[in-house]
């Protein structure tokens, strides 16, 4: 079977903020770029980001990039790579200004400059007073940035393949990545996109967990594609649970609410964060606040008839502040809870939010794998955004650093690709063998007859992940979880679809997504089981301490044989002194 | 709860048909998208619709429900008349079931040059904008491109190729209203003529249905007014 083929210099998989920022850099340099997205670009989940993007502009309070760097490293529980973190924090101000020039409608302060709010884990002077570093467009910052980046790509005439689903990477025998097999969702027709460079920017995998803040499409496809291409995933045990999802439903209530002065209370009306983070209180790091809420509820101090959540109080901010700074949060509370936060507190509980782990890259977005005593790059392959692990977030991401990550490394990858293309001018030949394996993933779902449903299996997976790999973990619970996910993977082999139409077959897309999620579930549980310490978002009740002696290193999970390997954290920044690990208190 | 859902698969159906489906349990707080997901999971896997964020920000799930365009994920089941009649957004080509072809809608959006155009050299810092200037963008930049308004507009039904439609015009105004944009004359020129802008007869259906509470009619009025002052 010969499939239709298209050829581009660069294939970008994903049209969220990461993919679009990279595509813009490339299109402006007149490279021939194709952006493939399974949804129309402005429907990517970057659109849902609320609170803002970090940069030490010092518009509201004194600030500089070095303090931002310190906070990011401390927030990462010292697992972040300090060269990449320095690079990101230094670039931040320039990139936010660039977004403003591109048209992002940031909120403004009286002097006309960009408004910045307080966010968790931010300090002045290396651990001193609270900083205000998060640049905001009301509480719709992600929407503002994503739409602006898409608009600028329209202007730059980027080539979009909207509603195309990437199935698998294509790789030759020398290890070069030569593009991907994609599926046009509307017609069900497969297509080969050949490219000299491929950038994965496919976002996170929040759909691994039952209650999450993520969109239906956040199934980590690009990470699973990397695994199948023989590339390991890094630090998958670190999954961020956001402290304030709407209890029982999962939609996010931005940290911006606490940044504007909201705070958490338990059943007794007590402001309990005073006990867990006496200094930073409600603006401690997310892992710290999530554990505090979980502990309060476990101790019977939860609110509501089932004692199963805590309350986020913001009525004291007054209607004017809420209407101006938090309009979308107010809408959401009204729509989903029928309460007006101007009058009533919002019930919240920790909710799966952000994938810290992902495809291992260096600070140019180049995908790297272990080789000998060091690392080597996968030629032709790049990754940025939530699917990648640079690693700037380490064991725990700070709020406002992800929107920053996607624009900083989207641009960096774009620049590196331009260099790579100068040295690699020609397409390498693509054999049919690699294509056959990728096609088999599609044809497998043509199978008919009786079998389990994809939907049922996905629900089970999400339940297992929540119960066995949540905020607190133990060896026994994780081991059981691993066995269950393995069983689910075996059962998925026998699942069948009832919908066999070629036209806009969403059931088939969901089947392919579930295959990806199961791979990532295994990677997450296996990596969590491997790490016998507590660090950042990974809390092992049986190993409650951080253990820098043995565990100040990144995990790497390989699909082949489900094996784990480790590599050192890059402790050496680019120009400044290293920040050695210290006890982490807020 | 009883549903009547528009179905059409060009591979197998001669013509569109309405499928009666029943949802066994309506839980408190359930939205229409939750119902469609359950019907798809439990009754008929082939039922096809777009959706993603589940919270009204991605704009994927614009549908016509009991005659009104809505976003399914923020439409409570409670209060909907039965049988709940669910159709694709009106007057666009149907790809399958509730999925419509939005390429014409996107074409009009791209045609209004929905990006900031500035000619002055870029300063090293941000361009200044007062809170009052910034406030003029409120109610404009929040559009989620769901197409609920444009597909409810009678002028668009009659001239889908030539009239830009309320969503695109709202974005045209979003940039005209931006103190940082310097392409006012060019933008206004491109909206000249009897169709692109002036097919709007202020029928207000767009504003009436916008699930984000935006007001394209008012934006269109502002553009018309600006055109008048610009000409003299
Ligand atoms: C509710 C919420 C609020 C947030 N608020 C903030 C905040 O205030 N500040 C902050 O810094 N961060 C925030 N974050 C995190 C941040 O928004 C995300 O991490 C970031 O936007 C991810 O961007 P991305 O470009 O990597 O991926 P995404 O925006 O998720 O885009 C992924 C893209 O990949 C495409 N794709 C995926 N799989 C495939 C496939 N198989 N084939 C084709 N295309 C595919 C999708 O269509 C999409 O275009 C928030 C996250 C959530 C969920
Ligand atoms: S006000 Fe204008 S754009 Fe809106 S529905 Fe009426 S004719 Fe259409
Ligand atoms: S103006 Fe409202 S109805 Fe129209 S596309 Fe935008 S959000 Fe949808
Ligand atoms: S699913 Fe995103 S707007 Fe409804």
Q: State both tokens at A195.
A: 């490219």
* pLDDT score of A510: 98
Which tokens go with B124?
A: 């090293």
For chains A and B, CB pairs below 8 A equal 149
Report which protein residue has its CA nearest ligand 3's atom 2.
B210
Q: Are residues B216 and B107 in the same domain?
A: yes
Do both B93 and B109 map to the same domain?
no
**Given this model, what pLDDT does residue A373 score?**
87
Both B45 and B111 in one domain: the answer is no
Q: Directed axis angle between helix A506-530 and helix A432-443, to 10°?
A: 100
Number of structural domains in chain B:
2
User: Ligand 4 mean position to B65 CA, how many Å?
Assistant: 15
User: Is residue B98 predicted with pLDDT exceeding 70?
Assistant: yes
B110 and B90 co-located in one domain: no
Helix or strand run (H / E) with residue B153: none
Q: Residues 6 or more apart from A188 whose CB is under 8 A from it? A: A501, A502, A503, A504, A505, A508
Kindly report the backbone phi and psi dihedral angles of residue B45, in degrees, each rounded to the nearest multiple of 5, phi listed first: -60, -20
User: Ligand 3, from B63, B89, B144: best to mutate by most atoms within 8 Å of Cβ?
Assistant: B144
Q: Per DSSP, what are the bridge partners of residue B17?
A: B7
Whether B128 and B184 share a structural domain: yes
Give the model's pLDDT for residue B173: 98
Percent residues over pLDDT 70 in chain B? 100
Q: Is B212 in the same domain as B194?
A: yes
Please tell me whether residues B112 and B221 are part of one structural domain.
yes
Residue B232 pLDDT exceeds 60: no
- Ligand 2 atom nearest the C-alpha of B201 is 7
Q: Are residues B87 and B122 in the same domain?
A: no
Its CATH class, for the domain covering A448-559, is: mainly alpha
pLDDT value of position A1: 62
What is the phi-psi region of residue A99: left when phi exceeds 0, alpha when psi lies from -120 to 50, beta otherwise?
alpha
Nearest CA to ligand 1 atom 20: A46
How many helices and strands, by DSSP H and E, does chain B display? 8, 7
Looking at residue B203, its pLDDT comes to: 79
Which candidate, B65, B63, B123, B68, places its Cα nearest to that of B88? Answer: B63
Residue ending a domain, among B39, B73, B100, is B100
Residue A335's closest CA among B55, B64, B140? Answer: B55
Same domain, B138 and B167: yes
Query: For position B111, what pLDDT does the model report?
Result: 96
Q: How far apart are the first and last CA of chain B?
A: 59
Whole-prediction pTM: 0.97
Peptide bond connecting A532 to the previous residue in cis, omega within 30 degrees of 0: no
Q: Do B58 and A45 touch (CB under 8 A)?
A: yes
- The answer to whether the Cβ–Cβ distance between B110 and A186 falls below 8 Å is no
Ramachandran quadrant class, A504 (left: phi over 0; alpha: psi -120 to 50; beta: rest) = left
**Are B58 and A506 within 8 A, CB to CB?**
no
Q: Are A274 and A377 in contact (CB under 8 A)?
A: no
Q: Is A269 in a helix, a strand, or coil?
A: coil
Which of A55, A145, A26, A80 lies closest to A395, judged by CA?
Answer: A80
Give the H or E element holding residue A548.
helix A548-551
CA distance B183 to chain A (A): 13
Cβ atoms of A19 and A37 closer than 8 Å:
yes
Q: Are residues B87 and B117 in the same domain?
A: no
Here the CATH number for the domain that contains residue B50 is: 3.10.20.30
**Contact criterion met (CB < 8 Å) for A504 and B60:** no
At residue B194 the predicted structure's pLDDT band, cuts being 50, 70 and 90, is confident
Instruction: Give CA–CA dist A178/A172, Å, rounded.
Output: 7
Annotated catalytic residue A117: no
What are the residues whose beta carbons fall under 8 Å from the beta carbon of A542, sequence distance 6 or more? A474, A475, A532
Is residue A417 within a helix (H) or strand (E), and if so which, with residue range?
Answer: helix A401-423
The closest of A205, A63, A176 to A130, measured between CA atoms, is A63
Count how many residues are written for chain A. Answer: 586
Considering only CB atoms, B95 lies closest to which of A143, A336, A503, namely A503
Residue A131: per-residue pLDDT: 96
Q: Is the CB of B167 under 6 A from ligand 3?
A: yes
Question: How far from each other are the two terminal CA atoms of chain A, in whole angstroms?
Answer: 60
Q: Which of B32, B52, B76 to mutate to test the pocket of ligand 4 (most atoms within 8 A of CB)?
A: B52
Among A426, A385, A389, A391, which Cα is nearest to A408's?
A385
Domain boundary among B100, B133, B160: B100
Say if residues B11 and B92 touch (Cβ distance below 8 Å): no
* Contacts for B79 with CB less than 8 Å, ≥ 6 apart: none
Q: What does the domain layout of chain A look like in residue ranges?
A: 27-48+145-160+216-229, 51-139, 243-350, 448-559
Cis peptide before A391 (omega within 30 of 0): yes
Q: Is the pLDDT of residue B50 over 80?
A: yes
Closest Cα partner for A288 from A75, A544, A438?
Answer: A75
Residues of chain A with pLDDT under 50: none
End-of-domain residue from the set B42, B67, B100: B100
- Cβ contacts of residue A532 below 8 Å, gap of 6+? A475, A540, A542, A543, A547, A550, A551
Same domain, B208 and B171: yes
Q: Supply the CATH number for residue B137's domain.
A: 1.10.1060.10
* pLDDT confidence tier of residue B193, bands split at 50, 70 and 90: confident
Q: Does domain A243-350 have CATH number 3.30.465.10?
A: no
Q: The domain containing residue B196 runs over which residues?
A: 103-231
User: Are B112 and B213 part of one and the same domain?
Assistant: yes
Identify the closest residue of chain A to B49 by CA–CA distance. A506
């Amino acid at each position: 079977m010969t499939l239709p083929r298209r050829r581009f210099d660069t294939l970008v998989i994903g049209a969220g903020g990461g993919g679009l920022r990279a595509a813009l850099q490339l299109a402006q340099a007149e490279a021939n770029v194709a952006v493939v997205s399974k949804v129309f670009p402005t429907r990517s989940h970057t659109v849902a980001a609320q609170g803002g993007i970090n940069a030490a502009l010092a518009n509201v309070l004194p600030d500089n990039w070095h303090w931002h760097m310190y906070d990011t490293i401390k927030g990462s529980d010292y697992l972040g790579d300090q060269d990449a973190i320095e690079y990101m924090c230094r670039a931040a101000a320039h990139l936010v200004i660039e977004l403003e020039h591109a048209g992002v409608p940031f909120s403004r302060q009286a002097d006309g400059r960009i408004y910045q709010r307080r966010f968790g884990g931010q300090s002045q002077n290396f651990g001193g007073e609270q900083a205000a570093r998060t640049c905001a467009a009301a509480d719709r910052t992600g929407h503002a940035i994503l739409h602006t980046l898409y608009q600028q790509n329209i202007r730059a005439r980027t080539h979009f393949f909207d509603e195309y689903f990437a199935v698998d990477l294509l790789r030759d025998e020398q290890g070069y990545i030569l593009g991907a097999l994609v599926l046009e969702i509307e017609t069900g027709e497969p297509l080969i996109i050949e490219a000299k460079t491929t950038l994965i920017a496919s976002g996170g995998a929040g759909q691994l967990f039952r209650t999450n803040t993520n969109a239906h499409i956040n199934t980590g496809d690009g990470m699973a594609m990397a695994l199948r291409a023989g590339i390991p995933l890094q630090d998958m045990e670190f999954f961020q649970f956001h402290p304030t999802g709407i209890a029982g439903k999962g939609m996010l209530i931005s940290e911006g609410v606490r940044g504007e002065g909201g705070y958490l209370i338990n059943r007794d009306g007590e402001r309990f964060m005073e006990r867990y983070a006496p200094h930073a209180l409600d603006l401690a790091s997310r892992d710290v606040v999530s554990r505090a809420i979980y502990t309060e509820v476990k101790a019977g101090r939860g609110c509501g008839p089932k004692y199963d959540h805590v309350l986020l109080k913001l009525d004291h901010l007054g209607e004017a502040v809420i209407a101006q700074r938090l309009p979308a949060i107010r809408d959401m509370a009204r729509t989903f809870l029928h309460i007006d936060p101007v009058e009533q507190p919002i019930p919240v509980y920790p909710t799966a939010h952000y994938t810290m782990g992902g495809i291992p890259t260096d600070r140019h977005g180049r995908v790297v794998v272990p080789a000998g005593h060091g690392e080597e790059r996968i030629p032709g392959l790049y990754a940025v955004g939530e699917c990648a692990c640079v690693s700037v977030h380490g064991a725990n991401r700070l709020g406002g650093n992800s929107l920053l990550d996607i624009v900083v490394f989207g641009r960096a990858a774009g620049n590196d690709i331009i260099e790579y293309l100068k040295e690699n001018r020609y397409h390498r030949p693509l054999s049919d063998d690699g294509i056959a394996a990728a096609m088999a993933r599609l044809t497998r779902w043509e199978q008919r007859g009786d079998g389990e449903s994809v939907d049922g299996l996905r629900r089970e997976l999400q339940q297992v992940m929540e119960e066995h790999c949540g905020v607190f973990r133990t060896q026994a619970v994780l081991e059981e979880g691993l066995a269950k996910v393995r069983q689910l993977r075996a059962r998925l082999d026998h699942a069948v679809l009832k919908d066999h139409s070629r036209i806009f077959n969403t059931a088939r897309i969901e089947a392919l997504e579930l295959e990806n999620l199961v791979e990532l579930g295994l990677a997450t549980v296996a990596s969590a089981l491997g790490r016998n310490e507590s660090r950042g978002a990974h809390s092992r009740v049986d190993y409650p301490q951080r253990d820098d002696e043995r565990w100040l290193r990144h995990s790497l999970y390989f699909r082949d044989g489900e094996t784990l390997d480790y590599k050192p954290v890059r402790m050496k920044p680019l120009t400044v002194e290293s920040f050695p690990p210290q006890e982490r208190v807020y | 709860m009883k549903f009547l859902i528009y179905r059409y698969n060009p591979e197998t159906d001669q013509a569109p048909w309405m499928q009666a489906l029943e949802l066994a349990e309506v839980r408190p707080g359930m939205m229409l998208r939750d119902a469609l997901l359950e019907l798809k999971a439990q009754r008929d896997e082939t039922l096809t619709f777009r959706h993603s964020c589940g919270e009204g920000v991605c704009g994927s799930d614009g549908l016509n429900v009991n005659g009104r365009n809505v976003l399914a994920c923020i439409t409570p089941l409670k209060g909907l008349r039965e049988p709940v009649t669910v159709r694709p957004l009106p007057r666009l080509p149907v790809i399958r079931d509730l999925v419509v072809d939005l390429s014409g809608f996107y074409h009009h959006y791209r045609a209004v040059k929905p990006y900031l155009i500035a000619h002055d050299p870029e300063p090293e810092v941000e361009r200044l904008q007062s809170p009052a200037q910034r406030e003029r963008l409120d109610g404009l930049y929040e559009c989620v491109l769901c197409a609920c308004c444009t597909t409810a507009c009678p002028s668009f039904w009659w001239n889908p190729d030539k009239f830009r439609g309320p969503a695109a015009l709202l974005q045209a105004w979003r940039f005209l209203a931006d103190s940082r944009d310097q392409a006012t004359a060019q933008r206004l020129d491109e909206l000249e003529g009897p169709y692109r802008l002036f097919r709007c007869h202020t029928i207000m259906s767009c504003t009436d249905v916008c699930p984000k509470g935006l007001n394209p009619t008012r934006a269109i009025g502002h553009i018309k007014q600006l055109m008048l002052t610009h000409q003299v």
